[in-house]
Amino acid sequence: MELLNRITALLLLGLGLWACDGKTEIPQATTYDFPTPVDTGNKPIEVQEKQLYDLGGGVYLTNDFPAARLNAISRVNDTLLAANIVSENYPINNSPWYAFKAWASDDQEVYIKLNYTRAKHRYPPKLSADGKTWREIDAERVTVEEDGANATIKLSLSSDTLWVAAQEIYDTKRVWTWAEDYANHPYVSLSSIGKSGAGRDLLFLDINNGQSGDKDVIVILSRQHPPEVTGFFAMQAFVERMMESAQLEAFLKKYRVVIYPLLNPDGVDMGHWRHNSNGVDLNRDWAYYRQPETRAVADHIVRMQHESGGNVLLGLDFHSTYNDVFYTQDKAIQQTPTTPWFREQWFQALEDRLPGYKVNEKPKGLATPVTKGWFYAQFGAEGMTYEIGDRTPRDTIDLIGKITSEEMIRILLENR
């Protein structure tokens, strides 16, 4: 209760701390003591070495591109290679995000054993000829050990490059290219709001019709966790549908949408399973903002809210896990949300429009400092972790993203 009282008091007091630079006051995100604190101080990481491996027999592999991991590979016998897949540090959740490119001087079948360090096989390999269009490998080409630890995959190699990855590769450059497609839209401005720990730009898309005043803010976040591309694809579908909506003009008269599509660019391009370049899970750092990415984004959201003159109503943070899930705030804790009517209407609309789809909502209390709780603590807003399953089909992801986008616009226009 003490925490709730403190948060309520902070909400009543206004919107956080104000830093003074001597001329103008710049609002900053407030710090919080969540019930289950997490040490988000910097941790050592292991950086993977990028190299081309000549494995004999005319077989070559490389990890020399951004994203995912191949920490070492060697030949065991005529047909078998053994790869080590190691995360940036430990402990870490089980997201072994491997990737490599392979080819051979003449056509041949090879087996590659994926040896995970302190992790179990999770992602069936996806294959691609160009690194952009992917398909999942045939199931009979994957053998997982009985204890689920390691897996052996069978590949047909040729002189053409074959991309193999735990999850599709969508690196920082590609995210920027996607975002830049919107840069000429009259309601969109694209910028970098700061730098990651390793100096990469933090991408921001501001969807605003230029009018200011009493405008409420919707916040979209993605890719705190590098391998979680299915959630990112849902975010893309969500944004794409919003931008082509016939209601966009009307919507932007009342709302501003602020989008941070890539919170962890270092983790993405360094092939991290979960953490940033300082070895820290960004989605546990929304209390004291010890990491540059969370500090920059949290402060920027607070500034956008201040500039817009309204409230932050909704914060959607796109992720991936084993199945589709919406993690929401437990209503016993969320006593004064700014939009108490939103959640039920939104989930109902998704079920109504997607036959056979059952929304998997998991309300949770404030525990660790994740964005879901932060949106409530900072703004009294509805915060959700919008999780898409690792293997949810792409057309279903698109539909979920588009329907939730259309229904958000409809419900917010009808209710305010």
Cβ 416 to Zn ion shortest distance, Å: 30
For residues 102 and 153, what is the distance between their CA atoms, to the nearest angstrom?
Answer: 13
Cβ 283 to Zn ion shortest distance, Å: 6
Q: Is residue 223 involved in binding Zn ion (CB under 5 A)?
A: no
Q: Is residue 319 involved in binding Zn ion (CB under 5 A)?
A: yes
Q: How many CB atoms lie within 10 A of CB 84?
A: 17
Cβ 411 to Zn ion shortest distance, Å: 25
Q: Measured from the CB atom, is 101 or 275 closer to Zn ion?
A: 275
Cβ 97 to Zn ion shortest distance, Å: 12
Out of 101, 225, 300, 372, the residue judged to bind Zn ion by CB under 5 A:
225
Number of residues located near Zn ion, criterion CB under 5 A: 3
**Strand order, beta sheet including 188-195:** 188-195, 201-207, 255-260, 215-222, 309-321, 382-389, 325-329, 361-364
Q: Measured from the CB atom, is 221 or 287 closer to Zn ion?
A: 221
Q: Which residue is nearest to Zn ion (CB)?
A: 319
Q: How many residues are there in the chain? A: 416
Q: Measured from the CB atom, is 226 or 310 closer to Zn ion?
A: 226
Cβ 21 to Zn ion shortest distance, Å: 34
Q: Measured from the CB atom, is 299 or 390 closer to Zn ion?
A: 390
Q: Measured from the CB atom, is 272 or 319 closer to Zn ion?
A: 319
Q: Is residue 372 involved in binding Zn ion (CB under 5 A)?
A: no
The 3-state DSSP class for residue 269 equals: helix
Question: Dihedral (C-alpha) 174, 177, 182, 188: value to the nearest 10 degrees?
Answer: 90
Cβ 319 to Zn ion shortest distance, Å: 3
For residues 150 and 121, what is the distance between their CA atoms, to the nearest angstrom?
Answer: 6
Cβ 280 to Zn ion shortest distance, Å: 14
For residues 372 and 343, what is the distance between their CA atoms, to the nearest angstrom?
Answer: 13
Q: Measured from the CB atom, is 53 or 386 closer to Zn ion?
A: 386
- 8 Å CB contact between 223 and 282: no
Q: Measured from the CB atom, is 305 or 321 closer to Zn ion?
A: 321
Question: How far is the first Cα of the chain from the last one, in angstroms, to the nearest whole number?
Answer: 31
- CA atoms within 13 A of residue 244's CA, in its CB half-sphere: 7
Near Zn ion by CB under 5 A, which window of 34-42, 223-231, 243-251, 333-341? 223-231
- 8 Å CB contact between 266 and 272: yes
For residues 198 and 200, what is the distance between their CA atoms, to the nearest angstrom?
Answer: 6
> Which positions lie near Zn ion, rule CB under 5 A?
225, 228, 319
